[in-house]
Amino acid sequence: MNTNANPVQETTFPDTKKHYPILDGLRGVAAVIVVAFHIFEIFSGGDHSKQIINHGYLAVDFFFLLSGFVIAHAYDDRWGKMSLKDFFKRRLIRLHPLIIVGMILGAVLFYAQASPMFGAIEATPVWKLILVTVIGCTLLPVTLGLDIRGWTEMHPLNGPAWSLFYEYIANIFYALFLKKVSNTILTVLVIISGALLIHLAVTSPNGDVIGGWSLEPAQLRIGFTRLAYPFLAGMLLRRLFKQGNIKDSFLICTVLIIAALAFPRVGDSENLWMNGIYDSLTIILLFPAIVYIGACGFVREPKVKRLCTFLGDISYPIYITHFPIVYVFYAWVDNNKVPLKDALPVGLATFALTILVAYVSLRVYDIPVRKWLTDKYLKRVKVS
């Protein structure tokens, strides 16, 4: 049931590098959809065709594409002015403080999530919970022996951290190998990874790309396949990008991303491959088009600019903190057998709470901690 996304917002260097506020806004739009997707997910009963926001799981692929685009934009021309050590410092400072918050929140709320659907929780001793929390704060995945929830998650306290695990891997590969790869080689890698993605989607037992959150071999295959194409394609798109001027691009892209993620299941149980085709085409064609349109847009209205800034600011905090709260909602629904129509008020309150927790985490903790770490451990890179 854990189909999470990874809205990581890049912070560029303090110079004349162009910023893409519309892409920030789209990251936030998709992150908010993910929260709604997860809240509704409990009512599907594990049947993907009954999920209300049916393709919300594709947000993770959209976020990987955004990451590839923005990281290539921020860092491709920095090597020689910035060391490998500084790159990894920047990425850790950007990502890791909120990872720790998400894990601690997951630990604090853990026993409140007890229900039949989480059979392992009530039997979990405190010492094991503490151990999993400490490991989780490093983002190292836990083995099945420490699966204290019973869902075989690599991060049982905060399921969405699985995609941050792959985000870290993408960053490592970028810094060690991909940063200097030619566009020709990168194009070949994009084609190969795209073919592997299509094969995964159309041959999947469920006819989709859902998965990646476990250390099981089949899940690792899904995770790396989902990471490879969008991240590489995002890099290539940025390298080949020519600035355009598309009016109303934020509105256009918002409509497209909502439509893509909320689109009903394609095909039936006898034609699962049809939904795999939908997943493939959405990731390979539609998502790059959305990012291109967003990057070609300009924000002129102050209200739209403020909205994009707000959505971009909360996108990563809401991703990394929302699921421990949603676990509690799941347990309440499961323990009390609450139908969707009766659960809607509590679901809306849960939705609002996740946004509030994300905003408070950002303002009270993440921003000041990142500033302190940056001042203490990062040398400012002077660029012309």
d(CA 209, CA 201): 5
User: Residue 62: what residue type?
Assistant: F
The predicted structure's pLDDT at residue 12: 39
Residues 6+ apart with CB under 8 A from 295: 20, 22, 23, 69, 241, 243
Rg for the chain, CA atoms, rounded: 20
Mean pLDDT calculated for residue range 53-61? 96
d(CA 171, CA 179): 10
d(CA 372, CA 375): 5
Q: Rounded to 5 degrees, what are φ and ψ at 185? A: -65, -40
* 28, 128 Cβ separation under 8 angstroms: no
User: Residue 142: what residue type?
Assistant: V
* 15, 77 Cβ separation under 8 angstroms: no
Over 90: is that where the pLDDT of 20 sits? yes
Name beta bridge partners: 115.
118
Mean pLDDT score across all residues of the chain:
93
Q: Is the dihedral of CA 147, 356, 360, 96 positive or negative?
A: positive
Residue range 160-184, pLDDT digits in tens: 999 999 999 999 999 999 999 999 9
Mean pLDDT calculated for residue range 27-51? 92
| In the chain, domain spans | 21-377
What CA dihedral angle connects 53, 54, 58 and 60, to 10 degrees?
50
More confident residue, 102 or 380: 102
Residues 6+ apart with CB under 8 A from 372: none
Range among 10-19, 352-361, 372-381 with highest mean pLDDT value: 352-361
Q: How far apart are the first and last CA of the chain?
A: 48
The predicted structure's pLDDT at residue 59: 98
d(CA 78, CA 300): 29
Over 80: is that where the pLDDT of 259 sits? yes
Query: How does residue 16 score in pLDDT terms, banded at 50, 70 and 90?
Result: low
* 330, 117 Cβ separation under 8 angstroms: yes
* 8, 71 Cβ separation under 8 angstroms: no
Over 60: is that where the pLDDT of 202 sits? yes
